[in-house]
């Protein structure tokens, strides 16, 4: 409380913030998030220390640890982990990877439901809600972390389907002395970062597809060309899906533009300047993404309204500096290609396998269905939530 917050309103200044990685750091925010996930302060501090191999207990552990043998720049654990994600979340390696096997759900059958309930309220973490004002959030966090902790302590032979990235994290965090509870907290935070955007963006894409017959027909035609035959629902060509479906691509780009409520955040660890503004050590710097995404000088008149055709008419606006749905600088989201293909494939398979139409809650006909409004009264850390439901009848 009582600190100074600087809001960035000019794209040139935001670019300056991203470039200044020495004085303006993202680490204070991630370390605060780690403690919000229940990781002890001592272990959080160790995760940010350079050359983490020094913290390993013995020479034998150092010889087989990635912190030593695959860390020539002696990066801290958190920065090395970021490098892992940048390589492991490339589409060719991860498009069909399942992060966890069935063992996790054998430990906690309600894991998905509990996690989703927690995620829906997770915006409270960013605003430092005390525990007594968010008891449900804390109870769900504890249940999810408890299940993950049990899972991570299973012998490797009993969790053979663990994705490499989480297996590596678990192994190296164990080497650094983190107990299962703290390891689970860090992995839960990563799952949060991976999941927090995609399902809402997918919702908005489906909402526009199912309420716009012209858009739906165009996307279905594009998707058909990505399968081996007109009747096939297997063997989707992912490269063609991501590069040869202009309407699907434009819909994705516009959904990210209009419904992304994330914020670029940094904390000054040294005095510096951004444009003509002096930033003092300890100041927070915020760059709200949506403010830039609504710039009519870049996205044309009506930038506050949904219009996927703007990306069909002028595909180059995806390269505009004011368009950065996945952030920028060294914190540019490493999972952006994975998320794109994940959502594209969900849309393609759903439209191929099912007949979907907007109806009333009991399946009645809806004339001229409308996309729900954005829920503006609920803070969002990533993609915005809808203000109401959209009932859809799905038939095989």
| Residue 36, both tokens | 């919000």
Taking Cα atoms as reference points, which of 192, 200, 30 lies closest to residue 115? 192
Residues 6+ apart with CB under 8 A from 179: none
Say whether 333 counts as a known binding-site residue: yes
> What backbone phi and psi angles, to 5 degrees, belong to 270?
-150, 160
**Binding-site positions for heme:** 333
**Binding-site positions:** 333
């Amino acid at each position: 409380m009582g600190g100074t917050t600087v809001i960035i309103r000019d794209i040139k200044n935001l670019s300056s913030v991203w470039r200044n990685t020495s004085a303006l750091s993202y680490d204070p925010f991630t370390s605060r998030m780690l403690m919000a996930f229940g990781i002890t302060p001592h272990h959080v501090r160790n995760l940010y220390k350079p050359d983490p191999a020094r913290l390993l207990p013995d020479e034998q552990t150092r010889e087989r640890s990635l912190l030593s043998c695959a860390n020539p720049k002696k990066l801290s654990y958190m920065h090395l982990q970021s490098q892992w994600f940048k390589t492991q979340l490339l589409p060719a390696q991860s498009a069909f990877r399942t992060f966890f096997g069935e063992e996790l759900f054998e430990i906690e059958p309600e894991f998905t439901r509990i996690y989703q309930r927690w995620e829906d309220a997770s915006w409270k973490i960013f605003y430092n809600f005390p525990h007594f004002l968010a008891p449900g959030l804390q109870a769900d966090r504890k249940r999810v972390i408890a299940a993950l902790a049990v899972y991570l302590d299973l012998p490797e032979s009993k969790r053979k389907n663990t994705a490499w990235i989480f297996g590596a994290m678990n192994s190296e965090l164990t080497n650094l002395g983190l107990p299962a509870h703290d390891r689970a907290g860090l992995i839960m935070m990563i799952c949060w970062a991976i999941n927090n955007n995609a399902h809402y963006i997918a919702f908005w894409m489906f909402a526009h597809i199912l309420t716009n017959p012209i858009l739906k027909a165009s996307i279905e035609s594009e998707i058909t060309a990505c399968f081996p035959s007109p009747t096939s629902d297997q063997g989707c060509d992912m490269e063609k899906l991501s590069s040869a479906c202009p309407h699907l691509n434009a819909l994705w780009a516009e959904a990210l533009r209009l419904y992304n409520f994330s914020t670029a955040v940094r904390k000054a660890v040294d005095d510096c300047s951004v444009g003509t503004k002096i930033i003092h050590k300890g100041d927070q710097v915020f760059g709200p993404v949506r403010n830039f995404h609504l710039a009519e000088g870049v996205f044309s008149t009506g930038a506050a309204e949904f219009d996927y055709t703007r990306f069909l008419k002028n595909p180059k606006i995806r390269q505009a500096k004011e368009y950065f749905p996945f952030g920028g600088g060294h914190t540019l989201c490493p999972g952006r290609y994975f998320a794109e293909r994940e959502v594209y494939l969900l849309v393609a398979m759903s439209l191929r396998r099912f007949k979907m139409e907007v109806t009333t809650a009991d399946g009645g006909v809806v004339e001229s269905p409308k996309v729900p409004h954005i829920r503006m009264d609920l803070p969002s850390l990533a993609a915005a939530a809808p203000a109401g439901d959209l009932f859809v009848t799905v038939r095989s």
